[in-house]
Amino acid sequence: MISLQDSDRIDGFFTRPGSERFELFDAFDGRSGQTHPVFDIDGFIARNGTPPLPGELGCAVSHYLVLRDFVMRSERPDDYLVVAEDDIRLTADFVPVLDNVLRRPRELEMVLLSDSWGTPPGSGKSRLDSGWPWTQPIPVSPRAFSEHSMGSHALSQRCSRKVSRTCRTAGRNLLGRG
């Protein structure tokens, strides 16, 4: 679970069933005014016409860092990284759904477990059928989210390695590019 260490939402996250499966990952604090070498500020500005908000910077960098950490620590090809932020609240059906995903590492490389976009059923089918490159950054802004609405996702070790490799070999920092 990605969170700033001083977040008042950590306790709320860890009171929910299934939360015991998560470790706390210290988020990159975009409020610090520091940039991070993996984030392409110029690319972000070119795409959005404005510099990233502190939360946008922190969110993008934190998600990359948790992925990189998983790639470095993971030893088994059937390992999964399950990512959640501190503002989601796991529901009663989270554990059975997650268990179903974890039993299928060769079939499912990336699974969106929850989102805040209200994605219509079947909307991802055209992207899957068209060979849409899942390793490209998706231009989504945390400005659209409020408390308890960030999504969660699971990535297989294989998918995590692909995404990490793409970020490292993009020739320029990938995060923030459009």
pLDDT tens-place string over residues 33-82 = 888 888 888 888 888 899 989 988 898 899 889 999 999 998 887 888 99
At residue 60's C-alpha, the angle toward residues 54 and 7, to 5°, is 60
Stretch 123-148: mean pLDDT, rounded? 39
What value does the mean pLDDT of the chain take? 76
Alpha helices in 49-155 (DSSP H): 54-73, 94-102, 125-129
Measured distance CA(99)–CA(86) in Å, rounded: 21
Q: Which residues contact 121 (CB under 8 A, 6 or more apart)?
A: none
| Range of lowest pLDDT (1-10, 74-83, 123-132, 157-166) | 123-132
Q: What is the pLDDT of residue 130?
A: 44
Angle at 4 between CA 57 and CA 102, to 5 degrees: 90
Angle (CA) 158 59 168, round 5°: 45
Break the chain into its structural domains and give their ranges. Answer: 2-133+140-169
* pTM for the full predicted model: 0.75
The helix (run of H) or strand (run of E) holding residue 171 is none
Percentage above 70 pLDDT, the chain: 73
pLDDT, position 29: 94
